[in-house]
Amino acid sequence: MKQICELNDRIVLGTEGLSEKAPRITARAIVRNQSGLYAVIYAEKWKLHSLPGGGVEDSEDVQTALRREVCEETGCVCDDIRELGIVSENRATLDYTQINHYFVVTTAHTPGETHLTEAERDCRTAVKWVAFDELVRLINDQEFDRVQGKYLKLRDVAALREYEKWVELYIPKREDLWFYQKMMSDPETMSYNANWDVSYPGYHRDTGCIDYPDEVLTDWYDDWVGREPDCFYAYIQRCCDGVWIGDVNFHYTPEKDWHDMGIVIYAPYRGRGYAVPALKLMLDHAFRDWGISRIHNDFEVARNEIAAWETHRRAGFRELGMEDGFLQMMITRDDWRKHGNQI
């Protein structure tokens, strides 16, 4: 399981020191139900909101403990479990260490009874189901004087931030094209497209925005959606709340015998770490599902698109060199096979 972060007294309290105690192992979960709501555990005695989970017992592996803890604290069965990552704690001030294994759990069952420990009942502990934004707010807005409370908050905040980066690809329906139009008409999103010396219906050279009449958009949809492997188009959708945050595409270029690609992140969601995971999903779809041999993109050096170059490098693209003022980048199916698991 990947490491999300390590918390210690220097990070949490601003003091130095490390504990050498053997770590307690825990299993914790971001639990989503069939209505898209998330479980949050509230201990009224301590005014503490936290994610479900607890310690791994001697007779258990981590996932067995996870299923037990989720059932005990939320009354839910774990129908699907995906690894999120590890948040380790070294609380030198308390001479205590802990390794927290975080998972993302979905449940399609109606919750049953909870089975809380005596200590949890004494703390007047209960489960609430809330939207993702509310879950983040409840955990992030807490303030604690006690060292333990500070650690409990920050470990869950780290897990939620990691989960918020998770994206999936969504093939839009015709009635979903309002989002595409919204991006194409947003000057901040489309600024990369400005000042091209092109003549294109609906193109605004000063902003880079493109107006699509309904009839043009219908033809565009027919040309791009459901046309693999010649063309592919999808929205990038956040897993945590289903919000669309951008799009990806690729299309075959016969004269080069490769597929060119594009990615746009809607301006309000830039800088949050979505681009590389979205690119990886697109590459997986192209190489694994359709057997495409190579994917290409290029960038005008004069525009100094350093963030875009770095995103492609991190997704596995190699630089091919310069051509007519454009940096050429490529990833092949062999590159993907060798390095895909490391992206």
Q: Give the CA-trace dihedral at 281, 284, 286, 287, to 10 degrees.
A: 160
Beta-carbon-side half-sphere exposure of residue 154 (alpha carbons within 13 Å): 19
> Taking residues 294-300, what's their average pLDDT?
94
CA distance 160 to 295: 33
Confidence class of residue 198 from pLDDT cuts 50, 70 and 90?
Answer: confident
Domain map of the chain by residue range? 3-164, 167-342
3-state secondary structure of 210: strand
Indicate the CATH number for domain 167-342.
3.40.630.30
Residue 312 — φ and ψ, nearest 5°?
A: -70, -40
pLDDT, position 110: 80
Q: What is the pLDDT of residues 259-290, one digit of tens each?
A: 999 999 999 999 999 999 999 999 999 999 99
Rg (CA), the chain: 24
- At residue 340, does pLDDT exceed 70? no
Q: From the CB of residue 97, how many other CB atoms can be counted at a distance below 10 Å?
A: 18
Express the helix, strand and coil content of the chain in percent, nearest 5 each. Answer: 35, 30, 35
The token duo for 210 is 């493109």
- At residue 120, does pLDDT exceed 90? no
Question: Which secondary-structure segment (H or E) carries 41?
Answer: strand 38-43
pLDDT, position 300: 86
pTM: predicted TM-score of the whole model, two decimal places? 0.87
- At residue 29, does pLDDT exceed 50? yes
Confidence class of residue 343 from pLDDT cuts 50, 70 and 90?
Answer: very low
CA distance 151 to 88: 10
The answer as to CATH 3.90.79.10 being correct for domain 3-164 is yes
Q: What is the pLDDT of residues 11-24, one digit of tens each?
A: 999 999 999 999 99
341: Cα separation from own chain's centroid? 16
Q: From the CB of residue 147, how many other CB atoms can be counted at a distance below 10 Å?
A: 16
pLDDT, position 34: 92
In this structure, are residues 296 and 254 in contact, taking their beta carbons and an 8 Å threshold?
Answer: no
Confidence class of residue 163 from pLDDT cuts 50, 70 and 90?
Answer: very high
- At residue 341, does pLDDT exceed 50? no
* % residues pLDDT > 90 (the chain): 81
pLDDT, position 294: 97
Q: What is the pLDDT of residues 206-235, one digit of tens each?
A: 898 988 888 888 899 999 999 999 999 999
Buried (b) or exposed (e) across 207-240, using 16+ Cβ within 10 A? Answer: bbbbebeeeebeeebeebbeeeeeebbbbbbbbb
Cβ-based neighbours of 175, under 8 Å, separated by 6 or more: none
Domains 3-164 and 167-342 agree in fold:
no
In this structure, are residues 87 and 155 in contact, taking their beta carbons and an 8 Å threshold?
Answer: yes
What does DSSP assign to residue 50?
E
